[in-house]
Structure 1
Amino acid sequence: MNRDVLFFDLDGTLIDSAVGITRCVAHALECMQHPVPPQEELRRWIGPALRTSFAPLFHDAERVEQAVLHYRERFESHGWREHEIYPDIGEVVQELHAAGHLLAVVTAKNEPHARRIVEHLPFGHCFTDVIGATPDGSRSHKPELIAEALQRLSLQPGRCWMIGDRHMDIEGARHHGMRNIGVLWGFGGAEELRRAGAQYLANTPRELPGLLGQSGALVPAAH
């Protein structure tokens, strides 16, 4: 197997964070005196940048920032611990690390929060770096996050794979002409990932090493 660089998304790829994220969104909406939608709708908040999801509800930059602060208050006290590790993903990450791959987490989650979570994962030591959104939102979308990871780690896109569960992960990878794998145990689903142009789909973490062993042609960069 070639020793590639593997960028892993966090929510929906390494951890099932639905409980923590949805409870924090509900808390923020309650603090803003905004109706809390049903659980299934709250799950759609998993993946996009917070400001992207709050903006259509409040239509005012100051109120959006207030909502983000309410979310973060609860996340820092409770939400960061409210997740489960997906079965087998830890073992697969450790196997890929032992095989010589360079691993990093690239997530739209606030970087300090993401670092805190990864540091507490039993396999967190396998990741060279954690690249996340800036607290002010100036870097929050996947193309920007991947660009930051490439620059920070001095990498060329051709060496790298993006592995994630949402269309943003695939679109970010394609923007940079990177190989990519959409994972089906998270929050996106096969239809969403195919529409985004996923190069490969993995049903379980155990399928990742085999897919990474394929030489697949690079995906054309978006223009």
Structure 2
Amino acid sequence: MKLALFDLDGTLIDSETGIVASIGYALEKLGAAVPPREELRSWIGPPLRMTFPRVLGDDAATIERAVELYRERYSATGWSEHVVYVGVAEAIAALAAAGTTLAVVTSKAALYAPRIVASLPFGAAFARVYAVPPDSAHSEKATMIAQALADFGVAADDAAMVGDRHFDIEGARANGVRAIGAGWGFGSREELLEAGADAIAQTPALLVPLLRARQAPGESACSAA
């Protein structure tokens, strides 16, 4: 495998604290009820413009104001309120040592993603960070994965996408890229399997063996449970 693409939130870092606190800040400023924390966990991954309507309705101006308020807090402190998952640094180091090109493909806004990746102890291992424009209302995973394949000149069957939500899996499959579920993240095992994950690593320690294996799509999807 020549190219490994990684999601950010829920895959490289546990960013729940900063994201949930910033969502709550925005909703409180708008006088809206804040859903339970467990429900807000499901908001981690999709773009804000896809999730705020769950509480605020479809009024475009209100949604944009919520996004502004979220970014107000997230830009100040929320972006740094995360921890690296145990075992991720070792997995990244092993892949880099093997000569695998690494890149981040995230639905997080480009306002923050490069800064967050650069702050990680292993951030320099990533050749590029793909993130969505600030005004985007879509995940754009498929588009970014396609761009990464083109940028690095790597064929789809020599690449893999690692992520914890269905957006990651669907984006990979749209490009014929091997889709590896990060079972330690915010998405459920069922979500990853339903999206068509080729395999699921339940812990970062199991990730490198899966990436080195060359199972056919759909084969042994539970092998690293």
1:55/1:61 contact within 8 Å kept: no
Matches within 5 A, 1:1-223: 3-56=1-54, 57-137=56-136, 140-218=139-217
Contact between 2:50 and 2:138, CA under 8 Å: does it hold in 1? no
Kept after mapping to 2: 8 A contact 1:7/1:106: yes
Q: In structure 1, how many angstroms separate the alpha carbons of the residues matched to 2:105 and 2:17? A: 21
Deviation at 1:139, TM superposition (A): 5.9
Q: How far is 1:154 from its partner? A: 4.0
Structure 1 position 138, deviation (Å): 6.1
| CA contact 1:49–1:141 (8 Å) conserved in 2 | no
Deviation by residue 1:177-200 (Cα, 9 ceiling, x = unmatched): 110110111111211111111100
Residue type matched to 1:61 in 2?
A
Could you tell me how far apart the structure 1 residues matched to 2:149 and 2:69 are? 32
For 1:7, the aligned partner's letter is: L
Deviates more, 1:122-131 or 1:148-157: 148-157
State the one-letter code of the partner of 2:95: L
The answer as to whether partners of 2:27 and 2:34 remain within 8 angstroms in 1 is yes
Deviations along 1:6-42, one digit per CA (max 9) or x if unpaired, are 0000001000001111001101111222111111111
Residue ranges of structure 1 left out of the alignment (5+ in a row): none
Give the aligned residue type for 1:51.
Answer: R
C-alpha separation in 1, matches of 2:126 and 2:212: 20
Q: Deviations over 1:83-139 (max 9, x none)?
A: 011001011101101110000000000123011110000000000001011011166
* Pair 1:210–1:134, CA change in 2 (3 A): same
Paired residues in the alignment total 217
Matching residue of 2:221: none
Q: 1:153 and 1:38 mapped to 2: Cα distance?
A: 42
Bigger Cα displacement from structure 2, 68-77 vs 140-149: 140-149
Root-mean-square deviation (Å): 1.5
Moved over 6 A (4+): none
Deviation at residue 144 of structure 1 after TM alignment:
2.5
Q: TM-score, normalised by structure 2?
A: 0.91
Retained in 2: the 8 A contact 1:164–1:170?
yes
Q: Is the 8 A contact 1:185 1:204 kept in 2?
A: yes
Q: Is the 8 A contact 2:104 2:129 kept in 1?
A: yes
Structure 2 unaligned segments of length 5 or more: list them: 219-225
Amino acid of the structure 1 residue aligned with 2:20: T
> Contact 1:4–1:159 (CA<8 Å) still a contact in 2?
yes
Query: Structure 2 vs 1, CA of residues 197 and 34 (structure 1 numbering), >3 Å: closer, same or farther?
Result: same
SS at match of 1:112: coil
CA separation in 2, counterparts of 1:149 and 1:75?
Answer: 27
Give the share of equivalent positions with the same residue, in percent.
48
Question: 3-state SS of the aligned residue for 1:45?
Answer: coil
